Structure 1
Amino acid sequence: MKSIYNKTHNLELIDRINKLKPESQAQWGKMNAAQMLSHCQGPIDVAFGDLKLKPNFLIALLGKLFKNKILGAGEFKKSSPTAPQFIRKETIDFEQSKKELIFKITQFSELGEKAIKSNKHPFFGEMSFEDWDRLQYMHLDHHLKQFGQ
């Protein structure tokens, strides 16, 4: 599996992001390209400790039960559920959101494990650096594939 901490893999993700256009069409789901770029920042903000989400008890329990299965799958299923805080319905500035996402992704390769400030995921519970790596890469890859990248 590719790693978000790996400079080469990180640059591949950024190259795929740079191929997106505001008019890029989703192959599934409801978001447009700008909303997707903004959406992808939410989970990174959680890992960086900039966004704190409080799950309810049932969600946290389910997440712990399914963590290994989901992370072990290697990719997310189309139209997988997401936290309400990550849903974007408003108008988003494509270029600004793209710039912000690229900056955040770059932090993973520049800072490595130091980029992660939270060892707890609101759905999966306790997370190792390897878990965060797998989750972040899978999430970005999922949404870039959603838009043909």
Structure 2
Amino acid sequence: MMNKPTKTIFTETIREELINRISLLNDNSNARWGKMNVFQMVKHNTYWNGWILGEDNHNYKQAFMGKIFGGIGLRKMIKDENPFDKNIPTSSQFKVREMDGDLEVEKLKWISLMKAYENYDNPDFIHDFFGKMTRAQIGILVFKHSDHHLRQFGV
């Protein structure tokens, strides 16, 4: 029998752990896998978390393939405590083209977004592949996504 995941962005100690790890990133942080540099990864996460939280004006629509396979994919990704696989694909809207920028400013944005999950309320959110998600599913996915990218850069 598999253990249900317990790490969620909606737990204060988990948010604090992620924030501490984000603060360890610096210009010398190198990827252990993938194509992004540290700035691109942080910028990817500020955009991605803003999308989940409903910051800015996002259009929420599930892709056709997601309507077919999204539920299965979501269950597979959040079924246990195992981290995400390396090199999982991201949809084009989350790919950061800029190669550099102010890392410290981006880190502060990401930290601010992590703190915003304390008061999460975005009933309009629909994942572009997974579709409509429960609060519990969102909490696990956000933790695993953040953990994945922080592990990618060794923190």
When normalised by structure 1's length, the TM-score is: 0.89
| CA 58–3 in structure 1, closer or farther in 2 if over 3 Å, else same | closer
* Aligned pairs for 1:21-40 within 5 A: 21-40=26-45
Q: Is the 8 A contact 1:29 1:79 kept in 2?
A: yes
Gaps of 5+ in 2: 1-5
Q: How many residues align?
A: 146
In 2, the alpha carbon distance for the partners of 1:55 and 1:128 equals 15
| Deviations 1:109-147 (CA, angstroms, capped at 9, x unpaired) | 2x1x43x34342111011000010000000000000000
Gaps of 5+ in 1: none
In 1, the alpha carbon distance for the partners of 2:7 and 2:95 equals 26
Letter in 2 for 1:4: I
Q: Is the 8 A contact 2:61 2:126 kept in 1?
A: no
**Superposition deviation, residue 55 in structure 1:** 4.2
1:85 to 2:71 alignment:
no
In 1, the alpha carbon distance for the partners of 2:89 and 2:27 equals 24
Q: Counterpart in 2 of 1:101?
A: 110
In 1, the alpha carbon distance for the partners of 2:151 and 2:17 equals 13
Identify the structure with the greater helix proportion.
Answer: 1
Q: Counterpart in 1 of 2:126?
A: 120
Q: Counterpart in 1 of 2:138?
A: 132
Q: Counterpart in 2 of 1:146?
A: 152
Aligned-residue identity in percent = 34
